[in-house]
Structure 1
Amino acid sequence: MTENALTVAIIPARGGSKGVPGKNLRRVGGMPLIERAVRSCTAADGVDLVVVSTDDAEITRIAEAAGARVVARPAELSGDTATSESALLHTLDVLAADGLDVGTVVFVQATSPFIPREGIAEAVAHIAADRFDSVFSAFETYGFLWRRDADQHAAAINHDSTHRPRRQDREPHYLETGAFYAFTADGFRTAGHRFFGRIGIVEVPEASAIEIDDEHQLAVAGALAALGASADAPIPASVLVTDFDGVHTDDTATVDTDGRESVRVSREDGMGVSLLRRAGIPMLILSTELNPVVARRAEKLQLPVLHGIDNKAAALTRWASENDVALADIAYVGNDVNDLGAFGVVGWPIAVADAHPAVKAAARIVLTRRGGEGAVREVIERMLASR
């Protein structure tokens, strides 16, 4: 390894998947898996370059937007039987042909949605200090492991079934998470495999062991991401778009004998909108309902409104294009399943505290306040805090 050799994180990400179609593009915490992986790598200390190896145009677009370089993965290395090692070797060959000297490789799997950047940094530091030749992420477990023998009887693996020592008296074991591996590039080329030489372990939280192989695991990951979102983290979006019912209101309406509706809104939200306007941050109300009350509230707040919208994703995409706004810079606040389309196209899908469970699972941020009870004010204050 030369003194100026690069540390490169490589993320193999095929477009095809049998278990979960389009798996690497599915969202956890409001962000595509491939983007989550790229951002974890770019945020990790010691990583000089992040490269995504893919055969898919949409993965390419998202990866590049997140800051990764993309290497086109040949068809012969993109099938179900292709190994990750083959994609890594191909990527190294491409980088070498471009004159890049790679000393350390961090192999990252996008199907692990909770990749700790601190763990990647620790792995890189181990290789740089020549403590190990290859390392992998794992979490400590004291679990009793079993297998089935040829007769389908249970047989103990890591313990004596006749002796049940206390946890503190048992030897810990380490379960490989699959989230990331790191190794010297030269050693990997020689071995052709991710494990070789002096092998080390980087301990990571157990959540890092979640790997998306089916829809159930995707749902679990979404729920965990929503729970783990910081309740006060800034939201660095540059545009705010909101639904109306269930966001500006508590999703109820009063109807008089003439059929006229009235809704309950929060004065806090009105002040928040005023602060946002003074900061020069654009805002739009996007509503399915074609109702005069929506227009009147938008007029009161001095906000543009699009209402009577059935396809929110299409309408929002058109509006963003017409106003020269990047979808990745938009925060969209919703509460119900008709907001999921818009969630799928923006960079910051946000759910109010009392949103439908499917909306919370798809959100990047779940607010602490309910619709009509200061939710809009909360997201505005967090956007302003990012500035």
Structure 2
Amino acid sequence: MKVFAFVFARGGSKGLPGKNILPLGGVPLIGHSISIAQQVDAIEQVYVSTDSEDIAAVSVAYGAKVIARPSDLASDNASEWAAWQHAIQVLTEQGIEFDVFVSLPATSPLRSVEDVQACIDALDDKTDMVVTVTPASRSPYFNMVVRSEEGMSKVVIDNTTFVRRQDVPDVYDMTTVAYVTRPTYILNKSSLFSGVVRSVVIPKERAVDIDDAYDFRVAEAFFQCRD
């Protein structure tokens, strides 16, 4: 079974400019994803898909191979799924085949080797896609609401069956720690949840997803506390 890891990193970022190569603990964010992938025994090669020359240079320095992403797949409106399909198609045109696709976004630098391996192990014959989740701090049954323009609010899931939060189903936030699937699934489907999806639970301290400066500070705090 041939397993390839991919990091998809655009040059543009409105929430935190240049975030994919911002240093965390002296290492660019994307360097953390590449380094973790290189430590997973099952992963044979690491590719970075990017439209940025700066990101490409950093990626090569950390030992990844670069796939040039077209500008139309790197805009704010471009779908990540289309970028996944493009990367697979590029390798196919080069005669490169593989069995398992692992996406390790640069925005989750606190993941562990064990997290990635657990996701790879979870991809079995009955599963099309493996995603990662972490326990949610709020529940749509109790303390998450929707608001009208006038400010009128109601709980997201209006279900009077439950009177205690302890009784409601456990809910989870999706994370960007890892996505694992097969190339054929990406090429033949249109979204993550088009098939059978299994999730792997990641502790909150390793599931920080960096989108803005606040998230980056949280990641720095957790990084400094690591053993």
What TM-score comes out, normalization by structure 2 length?
Answer: 0.88
How far did 1:163 drift? Answer: 4.8
1:179 and 2:177 correspond: yes
CA contact (8 A) 1:177 1:208 kept: no
Give, as a single letter, the amino acid of the residue that structure 2 aligns with 1:81: N
Give, as a single letter, the amino acid of the residue that structure 1 aligns with 2:112: P
The residue number in structure 2 matching 1:66 is: 62
CA gap 1:22/1:63 in 2 versus in 1, 3 angstroms:
same
1:198 and 2:193 correspond: no
> Take 1:176 and 1:137, find their aligned partners in 2: how far apart are those partners?
6
CA contact (8 A) 2:146 2:156 kept: no
The residue number in structure 2 matching 1:270 is: none
Q: How does 1:153-172 map to 2 (within 5 A)?
A: 153-158=152-157, 160=159, 163-165=162-164, 167=166, 169-172=167-170
Q: How does 1:39-50 map to 2 (within 5 A)?
A: 39-50=35-46
The residue number in structure 2 matching 1:209 is: 207
> Take 1:62 and 1:171, find their aligned partners in 2: how far apart are those partners?
43
CA gap 1:154/1:103 in 2 versus in 1, 3 angstroms:
same
How far did 1:213 drift? Answer: 1.7
Match of 1:106 among 96, 102, 106: 102
Q: How does 1:220-369 map to 2 (within 5 A)?
A: 220-228=218-226, 230=227
1:131 and 2:129 correspond: no
Match of 1:178, SS state, is strand
> Take 2:87 and 2:127, find their aligned partners in 1: how far apart are those partners?
23
Q: Choose 82-91 or 206-215, whichever is displaced more.
A: 206-215
> Take 2:151 and 2:98, find their aligned partners in 1: how far apart are those partners?
48
Structure 2 spans left out of the alignment, 5+ residues: none
The superposition leaves residues 134-153 of structure 1 with CA deviations (integer Å, 9 ceiling, x where unpaired) of 11000134732312243533
How far did 1:54 drift? Answer: 1.1
> Take 2:119 and 2:178, find their aligned partners in 1: how far apart are those partners?
9
How far did 1:209 drift? Answer: 3.4
The residue number in structure 1 matching 2:187 is: 189
How far did 1:133 drift? Answer: 0.7
> Take 2:136 and 2:212, find their aligned partners in 1: how far apart are those partners?
24
Q: Choose 200-209 or 30-39, whichever is displaced more.
A: 200-209
What TM-score comes out, normalization by structure 1 length?
Answer: 0.54
Structure 1 spans left out of the alignment, 5+ residues: 231-387
> Take 2:165 and 2:86, find their aligned partners in 1: how far apart are those partners?
48
The residue number in structure 2 matching 1:89 is: 85
Match of 2:181, SS state, is strand
Give, as a single letter, the amino acid of the residue that structure 2 aligns with 1:144: S
The superposition leaves residues 179-231 of structure 1 with CA deviations (integer Å, 9 ceiling, x where unpaired) of 22111111111113233321101111113432222212212211221112x2x
CA gap 1:86/1:13 in 2 versus in 1, 3 angstroms:
same
> Take 1:143 and 1:79, find their aligned partners in 2: how far apart are those partners?
32
Give, as a single letter, the amino acid of the residue that structure 1 aligns with 2:94: D
1:119 and 2:115 correspond: yes
CA gap 1:196/1:45 in 2 versus in 1, 3 angstroms:
farther
Q: Percent identity?
A: 29
> Take 1:155 and 1:214, find their aligned partners in 2: how far apart are those partners?
28
Q: How many residues get paired? A: 223
User: What is the root-mean-square deviation of aligned Cα atoms in Å?
Assistant: 2.1
CA contact (8 A) 1:11 1:53 kept: yes
> Take 1:157 and 1:137, find their aligned partners in 2: how far apart are those partners?
23
How far did 1:162 drift? Answer: 8.5
> Take 1:161 and 1:54, find their aligned partners in 2: how far apart are those partners?
48
The residue number in structure 1 matching 2:10 is: 14
CA contact (8 A) 1:144 1:159 kept: no
> Take 1:216 and 1:149, find their aligned partners in 2: how far apart are those partners?
25
The structure whose Rg is larger is: 1
The superposition leaves residues 351-382 of structure 1 with CA deviations (integer Å, 9 ceiling, x where unpaired) of xxxxxxxxxxxxxxxxxxxxxxxxxxxxxxxx
The residue number in structure 1 matching 2:217 is: 219
> Take 2:162 and 2:122, find their aligned partners in 1: how far apart are those partners?
37
CA contact (8 A) 1:47 1:121 kept: no
